A and B are shown apart, each in its own frame.
Chain A
Amino acid sequence: MDTDHLELKGHRFTSRLIMGTGKFADTPTMCEAIKASGTQLVTVALRRFNPDLPGDDLLGPLLALPGVTLMPNTSGARDAREAIRAAHIARDLSGSPFIKVEIHPNPHHLMPDAIETYEACKVLAAEGFVVMPYMPPDPVLAKRLEDVGCASVMPLGSAIGSGHGLAAAELLRLILRDSGIPVIVDAGLRAPSEAAAAMEMGCAAVLINSAVAAAANPPAMAAAFAQAVQAGRAARHAGLMPRSEMAVATSPLTSFLGAAQ
């Protein structure tokens, strides 16, 4: 397991838990949760960069965290041109080659726009960004995004902030079956057990935000997710017993047939 890295376009991470930074009650709690999670990759919205007012800024405190790579995101963009503009500014300000493409034109349900996401990813990948698109759980779109050079795909498990877990599990399995790039579940998870289940399915990582930020004790919940992700990954490596619709007896009833022969 020592060589089990999450690899994204040549960037390697030993942690497979990616943390979001929105919705926290205060910045120190957010930083404590990030530390407790052991994460090495953190996403932050360009709209929360505020160098003019340090107390309101997330970029500064995140840059000061040792061992953490930033992945700015384009949350708030309504279309590809806005996301591309945001990506350029975020790279200039953060110095990070990573960009999480988030295009959700409807600010109420926050569902990603597949068409605009594809267009933005095509341009940004060609420009050399490490592109990580937040996307609907669509196996066809996942392959299209892989084809244009994305570093990973990040399908939602269920709606952002909903806590409905892996409601899209069947579609995620189709994406996982054929994907040639890491599949990272982004959005919808509520409990560490769901993160473990995603890793057991074969996901390369999970991204958690609301489940930690809205917990009664965010750092403790972040630590619990870290353990769940490790357990799920270890279980995947250990080889899960196949499911069966029929009972499989530990002492087979037909063993006597072999003995008779």
Chain B
Amino acid sequence: MPNPLPDWLSPPPGIKRPEFCTERDVLAALAADDAGPAELAALLSPAADALLEPMAQRAQALTVRHFGRTITLYVPLYLSNYCSSGCVYCGFASDRTTPRSCLSEADASQEMDKLKQMGFEEVLLLTGERTPKADFEYLERCVAMAATRFHQVTVEAFPMGVDEYQRLSQAGCAGITLYQETYDPEQYERLHRWGPKRDYAARLEAPEHALQAGMRTVGIGALLGLSEPVMEATRLLQHARHLRSRYWRSGISISFPRVRPEAGGFKAPFPVDDTFLAKLIFAFRICLRDMHLVLSTRESPQFRDGMAGVGISKMSIGSRTTVGGYVEDRAKSAPGGQFEVSDQRDITTFCNMLCTHHLQPLFKNWDAAYRDAPPRAAAAFTVCS
């Protein structure tokens, strides 16, 4: 039986279906001070197709206003591809024949050194679902190792409770990313065939656990292509607004992953083309003016070049979706990745592109000082000289 949706994810009342939205609705959404689900529906409607250029211009202006002419860069490091779940769309699902590996702590250390040499200061550590090879304690040790090298360490792994997120935070983790994949509970149940990831509610609650544990950033997203995209977008927006209002000391970011080819040959039931994805990103920037919108190397160079700074404020580059893969010797023997990387440009080429678009790549946009500040003592600030 699929899990019922929480109240904050229920369909908002009084919203027009996209096919009934008019150009006037789209223009009103473009001019709205606080665009919400109703405006999102208009911006994603067929009527918005004729207004794509004004949407892009509005998205760019709002992006420059909050983030300036900059793009924050990060890099993923896959620690393990062992997985206990059967997600039908994932190259690391437990029924795939992909060879399995998990970086030893010595190997992980070498990979981190290599990423540091490449200039990165924000690293995203990834694993599959919780397994004996890559369990919580392993991840915690890897976070602590990374925190000695990088100013910002974030994690994309399995859902956890508040206690485990607190431990990760104490080890040096500044934030987590956890995609709901699809917000449609019935489709979720169909696509997640076995394993712990079948639990829709546990996944939906995990970002809140991280925020309750004091994480600074939480990234959310839907894997576009799995379900009807306007419904997904509406619920993703509701999720972001819910987290923003409840956890006001933390930053929420949104990613826009699309289903990519993987070893199992999964075909997206609701494919999203470039034009719709661009429209979706413009619409999210208009609705969420001050959140990081993230685009990974899943997307093509041409698409990423066009979206940089036009809604998108944060990007990965030089990514490997294999376990490790940045240290040359290990890259040659690395098994297949979670999905095919589309933008395979090196860092220099990508940064040169950003410069030609009058955008400054930011490798370091944070400081470990904030992570390493001593805990607040009870009477630390109570005496006035």
Instruction: List residues of chain A with CB under 8 Å of any chain B CB.
Output: 22-27, 46-50, 52-53, 55-56, 76-82, 84-86, 89, 105-110, 119-120, 122-123, 126, 148, 161-163, 210, 213-214
* Cα separation A2 to B199 with both chains bound (whole Å): 72
Q: How far is the CB of A160 from chain B (nearest CB, A)?
A: 9
Cβ of B95 under 8 Å from chain A: no
Task: Label chain B's interface by main secondary structure.
Answer: loop
In the complex, what residues of B have CB within 8 A of residue A52's CB? 116, 119, 121, 364
Can you offer 6 A-B residue contacts whose CB atoms are under 8 A? A23-B67, A47-B364, A79-B376, A85-B373, A107-B250, A120-B381
Known: A106-B249, A109-B290, A122-B381. A25 touches B359 (CB 8 A): yes
A24 adjacent to B250 (CB under 8 Å): no
B68 adjacent to A23 (CB under 8 Å): yes
In the complex, what residues of B have CB within 8 A of residue A163's CB? 65
In the complex, what residues of B have CB within 8 A of residue A105's CB? 248-249
Q: How far is the CB of A32 from chain B (nearest CB, A)?
A: 14
Q: How far is the CB of A113 from chain B (nearest CB, A)?
A: 9
Cβ of B369 under 8 Å from chain A: yes
In the complex, what residues of A have CB within 8 A of residue B363's CB? 50, 53, 56
* Cα separation A117 to B124 with both chains bound (whole Å): 31
Q: How far is the CB of A203 from chain B (nearest CB, A)?
A: 23
Which residue in chain A gives the minimum CB-CB distance to B119? A53
Q: How far is the CB of B354 from chain A (nearest CB, A)?
A: 9
B65 adjacent to A213 (CB under 8 Å): no
B381 adjacent to A89 (CB under 8 Å): no
In the complex, what residues of A have CB within 8 A of residue B66's CB? 161
Cβ of B213 under 8 Å from chain A: no
Most buried by B among A23, A47, A86, A162: A47
In the complex, what residues of A have CB within 8 A of residue B252's CB? 108
* Cα separation A50 to B231 with both chains bound (whole Å): 42
Cβ of B238 under 8 Å from chain A: no
B342-372 interface code vs A (CB 8 A; 1 in, 0 out): 0000000000000100111111111101101
In the complex, what residues of B have CB within 8 A of residue A162's CB? 65
* Cα separation A133 to B101 with both chains bound (whole Å): 51
How many pairs, one residue from A and one from B, have CB atoms within 8 Å of each other in the complex?
Answer: 118
* Cα separation A126 to B385 with both chains bound (whole Å): 7
B369 adjacent to A22 (CB under 8 Å): no
* Cα separation A118 to B135 with both chains bound (whole Å): 43
Q: How far is the CB of B111 from chain A (nearest CB, A)?
A: 17
Cβ of B69 under 8 Å from chain A: yes
B263-292 interface code vs A (CB 8 A; 1 in, 0 out): 000000000000000000000000000110
Known: A79-B376, A82-B369, A122-B381. A26 touches B249 (CB 8 A): no
Cβ of B70 under 8 Å from chain A: yes
* Cα separation A45 to B182 with both chains bound (whole Å): 38
Q: How far is the CB of B315 from chain A (nearest CB, A)?
A: 15
In the complex, what residues of B have CB within 8 A of residue A84's CB? 373
B370 adjacent to A77 (CB under 8 Å): yes
Cβ of B64 under 8 Å from chain A: yes
Known: A50-B121, A108-B291, A122-B384. A85 touches B370 (CB 8 A): yes
* Cα separation A52 to B115 with both chains bound (whole Å): 13
Cβ of B1 under 8 Å from chain A: no
* Cα separation A27 to B359 with both chains bound (whole Å): 11
* Cα separation A24 to B375 with both chains bound (whole Å): 34
In the complex, what residues of A have CB within 8 A of residue B358's CB? 25-26
Q: How far is the CB of A251 from chain B (nearest CB, A)?
A: 48
In the complex, what residues of A have CB within 8 A of residue B251's CB? 107-108
Q: How far is the CB of B97 from chain A (nearest CB, A)?
A: 40
In the complex, what residues of A have CB within 8 A of residue B249's CB? 78, 105-106
In the complex, what residues of A have CB within 8 A of residue B361's CB? 56
In the complex, what residues of A have CB within 8 A of residue B380's CB? 81
Cβ of B14 under 8 Å from chain A: no
A47 adjacent to B367 (CB under 8 Å): yes
* Cα separation A93 to B32 with both chains bound (whole Å): 44
- CB-based closest 7 A-B pairs: A23-B68, A25-B69, A107-B251, A119-B381, A85-B373, A108-B290, A50-B364
* Cα separation A49 to B121 with both chains bound (whole Å): 12
In the complex, what residues of B have CB within 8 A of residue A76's CB? 366-367, 370
